[in-house]
Structure 1
Amino acid sequence: MLRRVLTLAAGTLLACALAAAPAQATAATGAAALGGTVDVVYGPVSGAGYCINRVDSRSVVSPYRTTGYVCLLTNGTAIPANPLSACAYHEPTRVVVGAFRHPTEALICRYAV
């Protein structure tokens, strides 16, 4: 009987702790929304959607090289592209704050939260 009571009490405490977790996450998100930013990384292959749909349909990858953001075509030609426009393409409902080059030639998009 004592074991049942302890198990029930432990289950109740666990349920209360889990129920409180989303409220804490919402509060942290709300605090971050007061002028915070979030960085999202788009690799050269996953970021190619912008190049395919907005620059040239023959694009295969979109690396962010030291010389700038480019769309590489199937024939090896590199077409300069706008990284801020690429960020806006990937997250059209967010406000783009900046775009940066990752050391792996990925595109880092910084959005307002």
Structure 2
Amino acid sequence: MKTAKGSDLSDRRKLATDAKAALLDRYRAAMAAAEPGRAARQAERQAVSTAREERRAERDRLKAEEQERLLAEAKAREIVAESEAFLAEQARKAADVSRIAKIIEDEAARKAERDRRYANRKARKS
């Protein structure tokens, strides 16, 4: 029986090497043909990425400004609440002082009336 051409190990190796080289050549040719489009796509991706970063930075800046505004409003509300509490406390103290002064005045008036009655009684007995 005759041996078929290419059945030798070295022939098979050579054919495999040639096939791999052909695949590599086709790949390189495809990459060279796609090079202008790839550069454009890469530039487009870079532009999209840059725009995304700018939007993120703007969003972060707006968020920080909003946070500062909210903190300032909270601080203002806290100051107003403290001043209202202070004024309420002062009003309560003034009311207490007024009530105490009225009680003292009433007591003094009662004592004066009692003393007057006592003096009248003494005057009648003598």
Give the TM-score category using the shorter length: 0.3 to 0.5
With structure 1 as the length reference, what TM-score do the two structures score?
Answer: 0.32
Higher RCO (CA 8 Å, separation ≥ 6 residues): 1
Greater helix share, 1 or 2?
Answer: 2
Larger Rg: 2
Name the one with the larger strand percent: 1
